């Protein structure tokens, strides 16, 4: 990135943060104000620019790392769509360790790498501890999707960069199935398993949102490796 671009991003970021801070301090309902401020045109445009520059270009080191891990994937060529959606350094990840991933979703290399590490370091150990069985299949309801965030209409979602995955359930070696939609609530071992997996995902991904996070996530766990940090 050129120095001029860095300066422009820094100045606009300071401007955005100052605007948001002032608005939140002035009003009693900061969350509502935050939605309104972020959704206004120049702010959302600046955030989209910031997001698009936050992805590494030609991230060959990531592919080298992914090849070293226990994963089955195909490298995908880069492409852009209107509205700023852009996919670079992406793969189609079919398998992470012994975990088969439905429909080999399109994911940025960094997201795929984190998912493979998560399977190895968190998902399988938690599964063995709860059920004495390993997870063999991950079900999801999408990765790449050229769209905005649901609460911030003008701001592109991490799905618009193939940098997010919406996990809807798991299937185990012993035949047992766990669904976020059916099993998140209830308090039994399936619910506890999902809650522990979601919590562990906060340490591996930058964003991990569960059905407790907000109403939009009632049937899935959202994980992404975007520029923000959120665990809810």
The nearer residue to Zn ion, 30 or 213, going by C-beta atoms, is 213
* Given 86, 92, 206, 222, the residue binding Zn ion (CB under 5 A): 222
Question: Rounded to the nearest whole angstrom, what is the least distance from the CB of residue 32 to Zn ion in the complex?
Answer: 22
The reply on whether position 190 binds Zn ion by CB under 5 A is no
Q: In the chain, which ranges are continuous DSSP H helix? A: 3-26, 30-39, 41-53, 60-68, 109-118, 124-131, 180-183, 189-204
Total residues binding Zn ion (CB under 5 A)? 3
Interface with Zn ion by CB under 5 A: which range of 78-86, 148-156, 186-194, 222-230? 222-230
Question: Rounded to the nearest whole angstrom, what is the least distance from the CB of residue 220 to Zn ion in the complex?
Answer: 7
What mask of x and - would describe binding to Zn ion in positions 162 to 181, judged by CB under 5 A?
A: --x-x---------------
Here the tokens at position 186 are: 């209830």
Q: What length is written for the chain? A: 232
The reply on whether position 217 binds Zn ion by CB under 5 A is no
What backbone torsions phi and psi does residue 176 show, to the nearest 5 degrees? -70, 145
Cα separation, 46 vs 37, in Å, equals 12
List the beta bridge partners of residue 80.
86
**Where does this chain bind Zn ion (CB under 5 A)?**
164, 166, 222
């Amino acid at each position: 990135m050129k120095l001029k671009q860095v300066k422009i991003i820094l100045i606009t970021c300071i401007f955005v943060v100052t605007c948001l801070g002032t608005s939140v301090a002035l009003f009693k309902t900061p969350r509502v104000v935050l939605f309104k401020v972020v959704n206004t045109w120049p702010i959302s445009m600046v955030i989209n620019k910031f997001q698009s520059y936050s992805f590494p270009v030609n991230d060959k080191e990531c592919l080298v790392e992914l090849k070293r891990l226990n994963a089955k994937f195909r490298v995908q060529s880069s492409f852009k769509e209107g509205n700023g959606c852009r996919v670079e350094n992406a793969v189609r990840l079919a398998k992470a360790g012994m975990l088969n991933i439905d429909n080999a979703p399109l994911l940025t290399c960094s997201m795929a790498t984190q998912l493979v590490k998560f399977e190895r370091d968190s998902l399988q150990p938690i599964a063995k501890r709860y059920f004495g069985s390993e997870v063999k299949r991950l079900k999801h309801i999408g990765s790449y999707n050229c769209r905005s965030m649901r609460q911030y209409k003008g701001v592109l979602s991490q799905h618009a960069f193939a940098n997010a995955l919406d996990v809807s359930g798991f299937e185990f070696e012993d035949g047992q199935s766990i669904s976020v939609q059916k099993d998140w609530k209830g308090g039994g071992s399936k619910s506890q398993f999902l809650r522990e997996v979601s919590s562990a995902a906060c340490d591996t991904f930058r964003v991990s949102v569960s059905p407790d996070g907000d109403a939009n996530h009632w049937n899935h766990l959202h994980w992404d490796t975007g520029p923000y940090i959120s665990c809810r």
